[in-house]
Structure 1
Amino acid sequence: MQTDIPTTGYVRQAQLVGSIVPVSPSTLWRWVNAGKFPKPIKLSERVTAWRAEDVRAWIEAQGKQEAA
Protein backbone atom coordinates (compact mmCIF):
# COMPACT_ATOMS: atom_id res chain seq x y z
CA MET A 1 0.00 0.00 0.00
CA GLN A 2 2.71 2.45 1.01
CA THR A 3 4.58 1.86 -2.26
CA ASP A 4 2.06 4.12 -4.00
CA ILE A 5 3.40 7.07 -2.02
CA PRO A 6 6.48 8.81 -3.40
CA THR A 7 9.47 9.08 -1.08
CA THR A 8 9.39 12.87 -1.31
CA GLY A 9 7.09 15.38 -2.90
CA TYR A 10 3.35 15.75 -2.63
CA VAL A 11 0.29 13.51 -2.69
CA ARG A 12 -3.11 14.76 -3.84
CA GLN A 13 -6.43 13.75 -2.29
CA ALA A 14 -7.37 11.57 -5.27
CA GLN A 15 -4.21 9.51 -4.69
CA LEU A 16 -4.92 9.13 -0.98
CA VAL A 17 -8.58 8.22 -0.59
CA GLY A 18 -9.63 4.69 -1.34
CA SER A 19 -6.22 3.17 -1.97
CA ILE A 20 -3.62 4.54 0.45
CA VAL A 21 -6.08 5.68 3.12
CA PRO A 22 -9.21 3.51 2.84
CA VAL A 23 -11.74 6.21 3.76
CA SER A 24 -13.98 8.66 1.92
CA PRO A 25 -12.88 12.23 1.15
CA SER A 26 -15.26 13.60 3.81
CA THR A 27 -13.75 11.30 6.46
CA LEU A 28 -10.24 12.35 5.43
CA TRP A 29 -11.14 16.03 5.90
CA ARG A 30 -12.89 15.27 9.19
CA TRP A 31 -9.64 13.62 10.39
CA VAL A 32 -7.62 16.65 9.21
CA ASN A 33 -9.89 19.04 11.09
CA ALA A 34 -9.75 16.84 14.22
CA GLY A 35 -5.95 16.61 14.08
CA LYS A 36 -6.00 12.86 13.37
CA PHE A 37 -4.37 13.23 9.92
CA PRO A 38 -1.63 15.65 8.78
CA LYS A 39 -2.72 19.04 7.53
CA PRO A 40 -2.33 19.58 3.78
CA ILE A 41 -0.33 22.31 2.09
CA LYS A 42 -1.91 24.79 -0.29
CA LEU A 43 0.25 24.67 -3.43
CA SER A 44 -1.88 27.23 -5.25
CA GLU A 45 -5.34 28.75 -4.97
CA ARG A 46 -6.98 25.58 -6.25
CA VAL A 47 -4.41 22.88 -5.47
CA THR A 48 -4.08 21.24 -2.07
CA ALA A 49 -1.72 18.35 -1.34
CA TRP A 50 -0.06 16.52 1.51
CA ARG A 51 3.69 16.14 1.94
CA ALA A 52 4.54 12.52 1.14
CA GLU A 53 6.82 12.39 4.18
CA ASP A 54 3.94 13.42 6.48
CA VAL A 55 1.64 10.74 5.04
CA ARG A 56 4.32 8.05 5.37
CA ALA A 57 4.97 9.07 8.99
CA TRP A 58 1.22 8.95 9.73
CA ILE A 59 0.94 5.43 8.24
CA GLU A 60 3.92 4.24 10.30
CA ALA A 61 2.39 5.73 13.46
CA GLN A 62 -0.88 3.90 12.78
CA GLY A 63 1.00 0.61 12.50
CA LYS A 64 2.75 1.23 15.82
CA GLN A 65 -0.57 2.01 17.54
CA GLU A 66 -2.08 -1.26 16.28
CA ALA A 67 0.95 -3.24 17.50
CA ALA A 68 0.75 -1.74 21.00
Structure 2
Amino acid sequence: MPNSKKTKTSAIDYKLPVEGFVRMEGVRKVIPMSRSAILADIDAGRFPQPVHLGPRRVGFRVEEIRAYIADPAAFNGL
Protein backbone atom coordinates (compact mmCIF):
# COMPACT_ATOMS: atom_id res chain seq x y z
CA MET A 1 0.00 0.00 0.00
CA PRO A 2 1.58 3.35 -1.02
CA ASN A 3 2.27 5.94 1.63
CA SER A 4 -0.22 8.77 1.05
CA LYS A 5 1.04 11.04 3.82
CA LYS A 6 2.51 14.35 2.82
CA THR A 7 6.17 14.63 3.66
CA LYS A 8 7.69 17.88 4.77
CA THR A 9 10.64 19.19 2.83
CA SER A 10 13.69 18.95 5.03
CA ALA A 11 16.30 21.67 5.25
CA ILE A 12 18.64 19.50 3.20
CA ASP A 13 16.14 19.20 0.34
CA TYR A 14 15.05 22.86 0.33
CA LYS A 15 16.66 25.27 -2.11
CA LEU A 16 16.06 28.99 -2.31
CA PRO A 17 14.46 30.15 -5.54
CA VAL A 18 16.70 31.96 -8.00
CA GLU A 19 14.84 35.24 -7.57
CA GLY A 20 11.73 36.64 -5.98
CA PHE A 21 10.52 36.27 -2.43
CA VAL A 22 10.57 33.57 0.20
CA ARG A 23 8.33 33.26 3.25
CA MET A 24 9.51 32.81 6.84
CA GLU A 25 9.20 29.01 6.61
CA GLY A 26 11.61 28.96 3.67
CA VAL A 27 14.07 31.25 5.43
CA ARG A 28 14.09 28.98 8.46
CA LYS A 29 14.90 25.98 6.27
CA VAL A 30 18.14 27.57 5.05
CA ILE A 31 19.09 29.61 8.15
CA PRO A 32 19.12 27.64 11.42
CA MET A 33 17.41 30.24 13.60
CA SER A 34 14.13 30.23 15.45
CA ARG A 35 11.30 32.48 14.30
CA SER A 36 11.62 34.62 17.43
CA ALA A 37 15.39 35.03 16.90
CA ILE A 38 14.84 36.13 13.31
CA LEU A 39 12.15 38.61 14.40
CA ALA A 40 14.46 39.99 17.11
CA ASP A 41 17.27 40.42 14.58
CA ILE A 42 14.88 42.18 12.19
CA ASP A 43 13.93 44.63 14.95
CA ALA A 44 17.61 45.19 15.78
CA GLY A 45 18.52 45.77 12.12
CA ARG A 46 20.71 42.64 11.90
CA PHE A 47 18.55 40.74 9.41
CA PRO A 48 16.91 41.64 6.08
CA GLN A 49 13.63 43.49 6.43
CA PRO A 50 10.51 41.66 5.21
CA VAL A 51 8.43 43.08 2.37
CA HIS A 52 4.64 43.27 2.49
CA LEU A 53 3.24 41.09 -0.29
CA GLY A 54 -0.40 41.53 0.69
CA PRO A 55 -2.56 42.64 3.60
CA ARG A 56 -1.53 39.66 5.77
CA ARG A 57 1.47 38.26 3.94
CA VAL A 58 5.14 39.15 4.10
CA GLY A 59 8.20 37.70 2.42
CA PHE A 60 11.91 38.26 2.21
CA ARG A 61 13.82 39.17 -0.95
CA VAL A 62 15.85 36.14 -2.00
CA GLU A 63 18.81 38.33 -2.95
CA GLU A 64 18.99 39.75 0.58
CA ILE A 65 18.70 36.30 2.17
CA ARG A 66 21.50 35.01 -0.06
CA ALA A 67 23.65 38.02 0.91
CA TYR A 68 22.96 37.32 4.59
CA ILE A 69 23.88 33.64 4.21
CA ALA A 70 27.09 34.52 2.35
CA ASP A 71 28.33 36.92 5.01
CA PRO A 72 26.12 37.75 8.01
CA ALA A 73 28.77 40.01 9.56
CA ALA A 74 28.97 42.20 6.45
CA PHE A 75 25.18 42.49 6.34
CA ASN A 76 25.14 43.59 9.96
CA GLY A 77 27.63 46.35 9.28
CA LEU A 78 30.23 44.81 11.59
TM bucket (normalised to shorter chain) is 0.7 to 0.9
Q: Would you tell me which structure has more helix in proportion to its own residues?
A: 1
Larger radius of gyration: 2
Deviations 1:15-64 (A, max 9, x none): 111x2111111111001111110000000011100000010011111387
Q: Does 1:12 align with 2:23?
A: yes
Stretches of structure 1 lacking an aligned partner (at least 5 in a row): none
Which structure carries more relative contact order (alpha carbon 8 Å, separation 6+)? 1
Stretches of structure 2 lacking an aligned partner (at least 5 in a row): 1-11
Deviating beyond 3 angstroms after TM superposition, the runs of 4 or more aligned structure 1 residues are: none
**Matched residue, 2:4:** none
In 1: Cα distance, 2:15 partner to 2:73 partner:
17
**Matched residue, 2:39:** 29
Change (3 A) 1:27 1:49: same
Identity of aligned residues (%): 31
| Alignment RMSD (CA, Å) | 1.9
In 2: Cα distance, 1:55 partner to 1:10 partner:
9
Question: What pairs up with 1:1-68 in 2 under 5 angstroms?
Answer: 4-17=15-28, 19-62=29-72
TM-score of the superposition, structure 2-length normalised? 0.71
TM-score of the superposition, structure 1-length normalised? 0.80
Q: State the aligned residue count.
A: 62
